[in-house]
Amino acid sequence: MRVVRLHTAGDLQLHEEDPPVAGPGETLVRVTDVGICGSDLHWFEEGGIGDAQLTRPLVLGHEIGGVAHDGPLAGTPVAVDPAIPCGLCRQCRAGHRNLCPSIRFAGHGAQDGGLREIMAWPTELLHPLPTALGPTVGAVLEPLGVAIHALDLAHLRTAASVAVIGCGPIGLLVVEVALASGATSVLAVEPLPHRRAAARERGADVVLSPHEVTQRLHTLEVDVAVEAAGNDTAVEQAMALVRPGGRVVLAGIPNEDRTSFPASLARRKGLTIVLVRRMKDDVYDRGIRLVESGRVDATSLVTSSFRLEEAATAFDLAARRAGLKVLIRL
């Protein structure tokens, strides 16, 4: 089978390898669609993410849709949950599998991801998709799950106002999920014009560049701010926009393994600051319902697609932040 591995930063190579053999409790999945995420770009551009660094040629990709090749789901389109928790630790037993210290995550560290024609994966982590949706939606359900989890952490109340700082794919999905969850006003902040336009198309009623936000801060205030840009300027703007006593959700991953903000700004407002760590158990089912009902338009996020042998080109395009979601189709 064909596999793409990252050897060093910026060096993706196509290989021919033996297909995997499904172990106990696993199903073989014929991968059809893999989305490129911001965290994949950290691996591609920097050879790591945070304190996790490349130690061997790694198969990237954790936004995965495919078709079950064998087992009880044979022939069924599936979304692949990329996180394999231990199931035994205190966090897992308490329902916080996303915080499992022993979690294995596709395309991260020692765990190969989805940029290969066939993968063996725990059957319990495969989510069957309605035939009408198909596996391409499966690849978008992972970032949609992150957006859902971010708003769960926001404790979003009915008729709340929300600011989304950074309108890449996850930020755009936060816009849609916030509106589907009862928000009556969404402010989208994004430096790139084509992403501001996408936020407007998805229902944001106020769409501004970061510079425009700085000029209008005295006229803007929201109940909840979700930062999805991964830089300190966005974090500070999120804190400046949210009302006293409000919540700021940090979903972005910074290039450097550090986030800084003015302490006085957060302290004087008495803000609650929470950070997103992937997602919890029920987000795939909820995401499927949102897409089925038409409340979230998942596939329109995909603006470019490439073949597996074109992976390097796909990553270069995604790294330039051109378009929205870049997909690799096998």
Structural domains for the chain: 2-128+298-329 (3.90.180.10), 146-275 (3.40.50.720)
CA angle 212, 213, 219 (to 5 degrees): 110
The yes-or-no verdict on residue 237 having pLDDT over 90 is yes
Do residues 302 and 144 lie in contact, with contact meaning Cβ atoms separated by under 8 Å?
no
- What tokens does 234 get? 């966005």
User: What percentage of the chain carries pLDDT values higher than 90?
Assistant: 90
Burial of 113 (0-12, 13-18, 19+ CB in 10 A): buried
Phi, psi of 265 (to 5 degrees): -60, -50
Q: What is the pTM of this model?
A: 0.95
- Model confidence band, residue 245 (pLDDT cutoffs 50, 70, 90): very high
How far apart are alpha carbons 257 and 230 in whole angstroms?
Answer: 10
- Model confidence band, residue 138 (pLDDT cutoffs 50, 70, 90): very high
For residue 214, give the H/E element and its range.
helix 210-216
Q: What is the distance of C-alpha 100 from the center of its chain? A: 18
Q: pLDDT (tens digit, 9 = 90+) per residue, 280-318?
A: 888 999 999 999 999 999 889 999 999 999 999 999 999
Give how far Cα 167 sits from Cα of 77, 147, 210, 253, Å: 29, 12, 11, 14
Q: Mean of the pLDDT values across residues 195-214? A: 97
Q: Mean of the pLDDT values across residues 154-181? A: 97
- Model confidence band, residue 45 (pLDDT cutoffs 50, 70, 90): very high
pLDDT computed for residue 1 by the predictor = 96
Phi, psi of 26 (to 5 degrees): -110, 160
Phi, psi of 60 (to 5 degrees): -80, 175
CA angle 251, 254, 256 (to 5 degrees): 155
Residue with tokens 């198909």: 134
pLDDT computed for residue 192 by the predictor = 97
- Stated length of the chain: 330
The yes-or-no verdict on residue 277 having pLDDT over 90 is yes
The yes-or-no verdict on residue 255 having pLDDT over 90 is no
pLDDT computed for residue 69 by the predictor = 94
pLDDT, the chain, mean: 95
The yes-or-no verdict on residue 10 having pLDDT over 90 is yes
Do residues 134 and 87 lie in contact, with contact meaning Cβ atoms separated by under 8 Å?
no
pLDDT computed for residue 132 by the predictor = 87
Do residues 28 and 119 lie in contact, with contact meaning Cβ atoms separated by under 8 Å?
yes
pLDDT computed for residue 15 by the predictor = 97
Q: What one-character DSSP code corresponds to residue 319?
A: H
The yes-or-no verdict on residue 52 having pLDDT over 90 is no
- The set of residues, in sequence order, having a beta carbon less than 8 Å from that of 45 and lying 6+ positions away, is 9, 10, 319
The yes-or-no verdict on residue 27 having pLDDT over 90 is yes
User: What percentage of the chain carries pLDDT values higher than 70?
Assistant: 100
- Model confidence band, residue 49 (pLDDT cutoffs 50, 70, 90): confident
- Model confidence band, residue 51 (pLDDT cutoffs 50, 70, 90): confident
